[in-house]
Amino acid sequence: MIKNKLVVIGGSDAGISASLRARELSPNTEVAMILADRYPNFSICGLPFYLSGEVTDWKTLAHRTADEIEKQGIRLFPDHRATAIIPDRKEVLAADAEGRSKTFPYDRLVIGIGGVSLVPNLPGIDLPGVFFLRWVADSFAFQEYLASRRPKSIVIIGAGYIGMEMADAMIRRGLSVSVVEFLPSVLTTFDPALGGIVRTELEQQGVQVFNGFAVERIEPAGNRLSVRSVAADIITADMVLVAVGSRPESDLARSAGIETGVKGAICVNRRMETNIPHIYAAGDCAETYHRLLGKNTYLPLGTTAHKQGRIAGENTVGGNREYSGTLGTQSVKIFNRVAARTGLKDDEALKEGFSPLSVDVETWDHKAYYPHAKKMRIRITGDKKTGKLLGAQIIGAYGAEVSKRIDTVAAAIHNGMTMEALNDLDLAYTPPLSSPWDPVQMAAQAWSQANGRPV
pLDDT in tens, 111-121: 999 999 999 99
- From 219, 244, 269, the end of a domain falls on 244
Continuous H helices in 40-122: 47-52, 66-71
Same domain assignment for residues 203 and 236 = yes
Residue 371's pLDDT band (boundaries 50, 70, 90)? very high
Same domain assignment for residues 112 and 134 = no
Residue 1's pLDDT band (boundaries 50, 70, 90)? very low
Query: How does 21-49 read in b/e, with b if 16+ C-beta sit within 10 Å?
Result: bbbeebeebbbbbbbbeebbbbbbebbbb
> To the nearest whole number, what is the mean pLDDT of the chain?
95
CA atoms within a 13 Å half-sphere pointing along the CA-CB vector of 218: 25
What mean pLDDT comes out for the span 335-349?
Answer: 97
Residue 453's pLDDT band (boundaries 50, 70, 90)? confident
Q: Is residue 321 included in any domain, yes or no?
A: no
Q: State which H helix or E strand residue 343 sits in.
A: strand 337-343
Closest CA to 370 of 400, 390, 415: 400
Q: Is residue 122 included in any domain, yes or no?
A: no
Which positions ≥6 away from 200 have C-beta within 8 Å? Answer: none
Same domain assignment for residues 14 and 162 = no
CB 104 within 8 A of CB 312: no
What mean pLDDT comes out for the span 409-438?
Answer: 96
pLDDT at 374 over 90: yes
Q: State which H helix or E strand residue 196 sits in.
A: helix 192-204
Same domain assignment for residues 105 and 180 = no
- CATH code (residue 38): 3.50.50.60
Residue 455's pLDDT band (boundaries 50, 70, 90)? low
CB 133 within 8 A of CB 48: yes
pLDDT at 2 over 60: no
- From 282, 316, 350, the end of a domain falls on 316
Q: Is residue 165 included in any domain, yes or no?
A: yes
Q: Is residue 326 included in any domain, yes or no?
A: no
Same domain assignment for residues 383 and 296 = no
pTM of the model: 0.94
Same domain assignment for residues 312 and 340 = no
pLDDT at 452 over 90: no
- From 227, 244, 261, the end of a domain falls on 244
CB 61 within 8 A of CB 182: no
| Number of domains present in the structure of the chain | 3
Residues 340 and 384: their CA atoms lie apart, in Å, by: 23
Strand partners, 211: 181
Same domain assignment for residues 407 and 419 = yes
Same domain assignment for residues 237 and 175 = yes
Same domain assignment for residues 102 and 64 = yes
Same domain assignment for residues 309 and 409 = no
What percentage of the chain has pLDDT greater than the value 90?
A: 96
What are the φ/ψ torsions at residue 447 (nearest 5 degrees)?
-65, -45
Q: Is residue 195 included in any domain, yes or no?
A: yes
Q: How many CB atoms lie within 10 A of CB 247?
A: 17
CB 61 within 8 A of CB 50: yes
Same domain assignment for residues 370 and 445 = yes
Burial tier of 232 (Cβ tally within 10 Å: 0-12, 13-18, 19+): exposed
Domain hosting 230: range is 130-244
